[in-house]
Amino acid sequence: MDKKQAKERIEELRKKTEYYAEKYYDDDKPEISDFEYDMLMVELRNLEKEFPEFQSKESLTQKVGGHVKEGFEKITHEVPLQSLQDVFSLEEVEEFDNRIQEKAKENQIEKVVYVVETKIDGLSAALEYKDGEFVIGATRGNGLVGENVTNNLKTIKTIPQKIKDKINITVRGEVFISKSDFEKMNQEREENEEELFANARNAAAGSLRQLDSKITQKRPLDIYIFNVQKIEGKEFNSHYEELEYLNKLGFNVNPVRIYCNNIEEVKNAIEKIGEMRENLTFGIDGAVIKVDNLKFREILGTTAKTPRWAIAYKYPPEKKETILKDIVCQVGRTGVITPMAILEPVKVAGSTISKTTLHNEDFIKQKELKIGDTVVIQKAGDVIPEIVEVKKEKRTGKEIEFEMPKVCPVCGAKAVREEGEAAIRCTGIECSAKLFRNLVHFVSREAMNIDGLGESIISQLLEKNLIKDISDIYFLKFEEISSLKKNGKKFAQNLIDSINKSKENDLYRLVTALGIRQVGVKAAKVLARKYKTIDNLINATYEDLSKINDIGPIVANSICEFFNQGQTIDLINKLKTAGINMKSLEEEITDNRFEGKVFVLTGSLETLTRGEASNIIEKFGGKTSGTVSKKTDYVLAGEEAGSKLDKAQKLGIKIIDEEEFKNMIK
């Protein structure tokens, strides 16, 4: 490679590593694996070494990645939180030892001792204690300046608020989420149709860097302390001695720390940690080798980015070949149909893998997967198994193309993929896989508003087989409900009263409760006003529906598909038998004075809630919007109106107060 090519490649690698580091450190959403990123950094470091004239302080080989997130107070670290030089072979470990031994001879140090620890896969943080009390905590940030996350760190149960000695000390640790907790979090997110965390490290980082500590408190964060950054009134000779002292103070110290008398013991320790890695409750991405002698560390010194007395050995991701025996589909609680790979069992990174998610139809197409293929399995972040490659050269011609089902594998209802979505969903309202989520939505405040029927009660009713579909809510007996709680008679009576009250709801609430895709409260009100009864809505044609303002062709298609399902009609008939109101209770208003007009509401009104004002506007044929634009006709502004009022003034939109609005509706 000539100088011109080297310069171009170095610039390209710097842009790539900056981008991927930003996604990893700042956004907590990595786009490539740790190993792929490490390989880019190795290439960049080697090129900069070969062509020193192109070295730069702005390169990530010379500085720590990460920036302070907006919204956090900046904390300057008195002792920088540096990163470690990564190595990927035992030969590089030996080279590190050779450099250390040379320095030891120069400084007449007879013996070099090392401590090898697990490199925990999490987010680094510094904790400062004054007179033994935890006062401030910060993320690493760029190593020199971090984010003040004190309140978030206080939610972590393994961080002591007081330590046993009344001393001033700053310690460094790694915040992480255990493997089992990470799996639970992603399982819950999958059920809730939320984006999955890429790995435990980014889940931990995202949780710690929340602006609201109440969110952090709900996340299962833990921490291991691995270093004394600064201490007053005490001196230590060795790092191992420091760790023992931290343990006595009550800190949750990194549990894997191996004392090594020479480089051979270091290599054995690396191998030992590699073997135990899969059985550890927390994720690691390497082993850290540190010089134990603290005074020798001072002699060895540091670069701008890394200490010269420590390195991190990174374990390569383990990959194995196996056979994709079958693809089966599972239905989640929200109706999303997820394809699962059934594999010939294979041991990867210490555990036997026999199945893994294939995410969605697009993933299967991108990988060009066929049943019977030889595939390569890897554990993402050493936790989640994934298919990373298909060995097409091993195909025999007997492989079978896979197609996503056209009907739900659980209930047989039509399975659809909405435009712009990757997921395929079951449309059946009585599908047993979706029942819990459908029940929660049906009884919610915006829908049938059945007070007292929360998630825990619904779970109990399902566990006791007291509910098999939505309509069963209206046939629950007093004795059945009271059995759910100790002294549950009052609770049972209140719930039955609430259930009976919901029978009198307006039609729009029932339409909302049915959970038709794309149909929220606003659209449900439009449909209830237009069609007056559930039967009229059931018989509405696609052509009629698609012409309605606020409905349109996509929503019209969802409505038609929903009411064409036998399960839907079956449920509505059961609800009719239960005595549920099926008509619009809204007085018919022929006055369409606001037809074609768009209102935006901002601030607090004196005599009306914003919901009541919206209902009035809609009754008179108008529309409400959450954003001000050139299409806005009126901005109804109450007290403490904010940026929407400012924007309306700039655009010259007519601004009215509550009194003017009342005059308009007289």
Residues 315-359: tens digit of each pLDDT: 877 788 999 999 999 888 778 899 999 999 988 766 678 999 898
Question: pLDDT tens-digit profile of 441-461?
Answer: 999 999 999 999 988 899 999
What CATH class has 74-313? alpha beta
pLDDT at 68: 62
530 catalytic? Reply is no
In the CATH hierarchy, which fold is given to the domain comprising 431-588? DNA polymerase; domain 1 (1.10.150)
The Cα angle at residue 473 between residues 469 and 479, in degrees rounded to 5: 125
Tokens 């049915």 sit on residue: 514
User: In a 10 Å sphere around its CB, with 0-12 CB exposed, 13-18 middle and 19+ buried, how is residue 613 labelled?
Assistant: buried
List of the chain residues with pLDDT < 70:
28, 33, 64-70, 193, 349-351, 380-383, 588-590
User: In a 10 Å sphere around its CB, with 0-12 CB exposed, 13-18 middle and 19+ buried, how is residue 253 labelled?
Assistant: buried
Please spell the DSSP secondary structure of 388-408, one letter per residue.
EEE-GGG--S--B-----SB-
pLDDT at 310: 96
pLDDT at 69: 63
Beta bridge partners of 536: none
How far apart, in whole angstroms, are the C-alpha atoms of residue 186 and residue 332? 13
Of 3.65.10.10, 2.40.37.20, 3.40.50.10190, 3.40.50.720, which CATH number belongs to 598-664? Answer: 3.40.50.10190
End-to-end CA separation in angstroms for the chain: 82
How far apart, in whole angstroms, are the C-alpha atoms of residue 614 and residue 609? 9
- Cα separations in angstroms, 305 against 49, 58, 80: 16, 11, 9
pLDDT at 422: 83
- Cα separations in angstroms, 369 against 181, 355, 356, 416, 653: 31, 14, 13, 22, 55
Is 193 in contact with 441 (CB distance < 8 Å)? no
What is 3-54's CATH number?
A: 1.10.287.610
pLDDT at 595: 86
Two tokens, residue 151:
């309140």
Contacts of 527 (CB under 8 A, 6+ apart): 508, 511, 519, 537, 548, 551, 559
Which residue spans within 271-335 are E strands per DSSP? 284-291, 310-313, 319-331
Give the torsion sign (CA, 451, 452, 453, 456): positive
Contacts of 426 (CB under 8 A, 6+ apart): 331, 335, 337, 408, 410, 411, 413, 415, 433, 434
The Cα angle at residue 345 between residues 394 and 331, in degrees rounded to 5: 100
Is 145 in contact with 68 (CB distance < 8 Å)? yes
In the CATH hierarchy, which fold is given to the domain comprising 318-426? OB fold (Dihydrolipoamide Acetyltransferase, E2P) (2.40.50)
| Boundaries of every domain in the chain | 3-54, 74-313, 318-426, 431-588, 598-664
How far apart, in whole angstroms, are the C-alpha atoms of residue 472 and residue 195? 33
Out of 4, 15, 16, 119, which one is annotated catalytic?
119
pLDDT at 193: 66
Q: Which amino acid is at 631?
A: K
pLDDT at 65: 65
pLDDT at 70: 67
